[in-house]
A and B are shown apart, each in its own frame.
Chain A
């Protein structure tokens, strides 16, 4: 792991003195908050100007979220959605990475499977909903399957491309050292392709979280997607619809911040520098 970054001193937070580099740290927090506040003000003004009594104001959405917390539903729904995304996504990684490496390494396999993959890839998870219900009934398996489908293709494709784009010089050097097949894979192919695979996984994680609403349209009885669909059933509760959207967005933000922590690893940074 790389060295810990230098801690900003108190002066940067109090706003006096400090070189430009440290001011930048400060603005990283303040600027997004300013943008968020401006967005909320514009939203509020928009609802007031149009006089809509259906689309909720930010404060109403806030009240809706508080109501969900008080009824103990928010934690349950967040956990349910994260559970489905975790399993769907994990299965996609477990299937997609080895399969992608296999396709990248063996030219004949790539020729054989690529057209099928390119055919399945553009099919929206929504189109798979009927099939998911028929195969997995209305259990957690159905949304997990939909999330798996949405994320397995980006992972497979990035792993395939990672092997295909590998510098031939690595392989030639490895052959000169007389590595076995297993050594070649663990010492050369995997390290060389890892940065690009991780980039693919990052993109796929975004996609997996994106399809959670569609995946939970199936009659599961929990989750943030279910919250949105349930609120539509509940009459004029568009505050809860938007509350569901806000929660999905906020968790998406946290996931992105967590994945960004990967950039601290030299192996991944090397990958970015290489692109």
Chain B
């Protein structure tokens, strides 16, 4: 065979083969037999990152799959903040979990986005090396501290904590780093302290080289880092689905906080099916101590956001042209106390 013909034949055969394999193995397309029923409308997609701040997203999905056979939304996993934000902006998903100040700043930049519920409260730590000489916040002076993003509440938390002690953010060297890379950076002394959502902070403790300098609950009780945001378009056109999502998130939050068995059960199924992490890690951060992260009292409150807004403006990441009523829609939670946890007792007998 000539060169041209050989190349053409090989290229066509290869492309066909790899396409069929990909459709079969990764996209689960059925080539023969009955076709799976086609959904009339696209399932409501919700973005999340494998951190405990977003735990209610996979928990709601899993409980619904187990209670009613299928979930009413599709959780989409991301690996970093920029990707979540861009996928949301592209219109790929109408809802996502997002850093609270980032959501507020997007609103300020004109993005039609509304905060409808909180992801969690607390659930952040600031870790230093076990053998370091940092024992108080004051000891951070001149040190390098890694934060997840300039729009993260963790950055605002440090800002507030330093201010309370008469210091300023200029006294430390702050760097942005994706949370999954933080533990190893601390271990190798590339940075002096790290702060992000769990379980990446707990991991340093579990592996024996990290020490807690503070847990958020100790310096900013009821701290919020991530929120559930929905596009205004979805609020207008897909209101029942948004309501169902908010109710589901609220119910699974209460289910998680109902007892420790529920949390341990969630640690197992979330680690295995959604986060692809060692279940030991989630078990650790969800129990030691139990109030390290909380999933109740998640209706958005004006005073919490005003506090965040004031800090965001003061620290220069927001202009302060939008306020609570602009970026929050409280209409999906009429009475948070009336919401009941899921009546699901797990797969165990």
Which residues from B are CB-within-8-Å of A62?
Answer: none
CB-contact partner of B91 in A82, A137, A233, A265, under 8 A: A137
Which residues from B are CB-within-8-Å of A133?
Answer: 83, 86-87, 90, 92
**Does any Cβ of B come within 8 Å of A230's Cβ?**
yes
Given contacts A75-B25, A86-B15, contact A233 B87 (CB under 8 A): no
- Assess whether A236 is in contact with B277, with CB atoms less than 8 Å apart: no
- Assess whether A79 is in contact with B83, with CB atoms less than 8 Å apart: no
Which residues from A are CB-within-8-Å of B21?
Answer: 79, 83
Given contacts A130-B82, A133-B86, contact A233 B50 (CB under 8 A): yes
- Count A-B pairs with CB separation below 8 Å: 100
Which residues from B are CB-within-8-Å of A219?
Answer: 76-79, 83-84, 87
**Does any Cβ of B come within 8 Å of A222's Cβ?**
yes
Within 8 A of B (CB), among A93-109: none
Looking across the interface, which residue of chain B has its beta carbon closest to that of A137?
A: B92
* Stretch of B97-105, B139-147, B165-173, B177-185 with 4 or more beta carbons under 8 angstroms from chain A: B177-185
Within 8 A of B (CB), among A229-273: 229-230, 232-236, 238, 262, 265, 267-268
**Does any Cβ of B come within 8 Å of A203's Cβ?**
no
Interface string of B198-230 (1 = CB under 8 A from A): 011001000100000000000000000000000
Q: How large is the interface on A (under 10, 10 to 19, 20 to 34, 35 or more residues)?
A: 35 or more
B302 nearest CB across to chain A (Å)? 33
- Assess whether A265 is in contact with B11, with CB atoms less than 8 Å apart: no
Bound: A80/B230 CA distance, A: 31
Which residues from A are CB-within-8-Å of B76?
Answer: 138, 219
Q: Is the interface of A mostly helix, strand, loop or mixed?
A: helix
Interface string of B62-86 (1 = CB under 8 A from A): 0000000000000011111011101
**Does any Cβ of A come within 8 Å of B22's Cβ?**
yes
Which residues from B are CB-within-8-Å of A234?
Answer: 275-278
Bound: A87/B15 CA distance, A: 7
Which residues from B are CB-within-8-Å of A229?
Answer: 79
Interface string of B258-292 (1 = CB under 8 A from A): 00000000000000000111100100000000000
Which residues from A are CB-within-8-Å of B343?
Answer: none
**Does any Cβ of B come within 8 Å of A127's Cβ?**
no
- Assess whether B277 is in contact with A233, with CB atoms less than 8 Å apart: yes
Which residues from A are CB-within-8-Å of B87?
Answer: 133, 137-138, 219
- Assess whether B14 is in contact with A267, with CB atoms less than 8 Å apart: no
**Does any Cβ of B come within 8 Å of A10's Cβ?**
no
Bound: A213/B3 CA distance, A: 31
Which residues from A are CB-within-8-Å of B77?
Answer: 219, 221
B28 nearest CB across to chain A (Å)? 10
Given contacts A90-B15, A134-B86, A137-B90, contact A79 B26 (CB under 8 A): yes
- Assess whether B82 is in contact with A232, with CB atoms less than 8 Å apart: no
Which residues from B are CB-within-8-Å of A194?
Answer: 3-4
**Does any Cβ of A come within 8 Å of B340's Cβ?**
no
Given contacts A79-B25, A130-B82, A137-B92, contact A267 B18 (CB under 8 A): no
CB-contact partner of A236 in B84, B203, B275, under 8 A: B203
**Does any Cβ of A come within 8 Å of B338's Cβ?**
no
CB-contact partner of A1 in B1, B22, B86, B91, under 8 A: B1
Which residues from A are CB-within-8-Å of B84?
Answer: 219
Which residues from A are CB-within-8-Å of B86?
Answer: 130, 133-134
Which residues from B are CB-within-8-Å of A129?
Answer: 83
- Assess whether B180 is in contact with A232, with CB atoms less than 8 Å apart: yes
**Does any Cβ of B come within 8 Å of A31's Cβ?**
no
B101 nearest CB across to chain A (Å)? 20
**Does any Cβ of B come within 8 Å of A35's Cβ?**
no
Bound: A134/B111 CA distance, A: 14
Interface string of A47-91 (1 = CB under 8 A from B): 000000010000000000000000000011001101100110010
* 27 pairs, A vs B, C-beta closer than 8 Å: A54-B184, A79-B22, A79-B25, A82-B18, A83-B19, A86-B14, A133-B83, A133-B87, A135-B90, A137-B90, A137-B92, A138-B76, A138-B78, A138-B83, A138-B92, A194-B3, A222-B26, A233-B79, A233-B180, A234-B276, A234-B278, A235-B203, A235-B278, A235-B281, A262-B3, A265-B3, A268-B3
Nearest first, the 6 closest Cβ-Cβ pairs linking A and B are A83-B22, A137-B92, A133-B86, A265-B3, A232-B180, A219-B78
B positions within 8 Å CB-CB of A: 1, 3-4, 6, 11, 14-15, 18-19, 21-22, 25-26, 50, 76-80, 82-84, 86-87, 89-92, 178, 180-181, 183-184, 187-188, 199-200, 203, 207, 275-278, 281
A positions within 8 Å CB-CB of B: 1, 54, 75-76, 79-80, 82-83, 86-87, 90, 129-130, 133-135, 137-138, 194, 217-219, 221-222, 229-230, 232-236, 238, 262, 265, 267-268
- Name 5 extra pairs, CB < 8 A, besides A232-B180, A232-B181: A83-B19, A86-B19, A137-B92, A234-B276, A234-B277
